[in-house]
Amino acid sequence: MRLVAEELVDSASANVWLLSGPLGSGKTVFARSVLRILGFRGAVPSPTFTLSRHYQTPRGRWTRVVHIDAYRIKNQAEEAALDITDAAQDPRCLVLIEWPERLASQLRTNALRLQFQHAKTGRVVRRLSH
């Protein structure tokens, strides 16, 4: 996961990354790797129950990361409270969204779409677009 994360942190132009895949396929591990690469050293728990977590990062082109887990989104009011649009419009903010298919709103078409899967040798990440 770390090697894929390093490559994307260095090369991806999109600041919204959509992380899809089954439970346990590595989405949160990947997000944690991205934060470590950007220099964040604190705890990086899954945002499953809080829905989102915000981080300040000391290096790289993104100074802020918003990590969202949409798995437990219950309605559009909860989704609206996440303020995804505002975060996505900030070019210094990287928005990582797990379970984007559970969101009702239209996501930006220039988002980076990643598919995580289980494999015999561990986990696989495929870049689907952008």
Residue type, 127: R
Q: What is the pLDDT of residues 26-81, one digit of tens each?
A: 999 999 999 999 999 999 999 988 999 999 999 889 999 999 999 999 888 888 88
pTM comes to 0.90
Q: Provide the domain limits for residue 46.
A: 2-129
* Domain count within the chain: 1
CATH number of the domain where residue 65 is located: 3.40.50.300
- CA-based angle 74:76:81, to the nearest 5? 95
Confidence category of residue 110, pLDDT binned at 50, 70, 90 = confident
Q: What is the DSSP letter of 107?
A: P
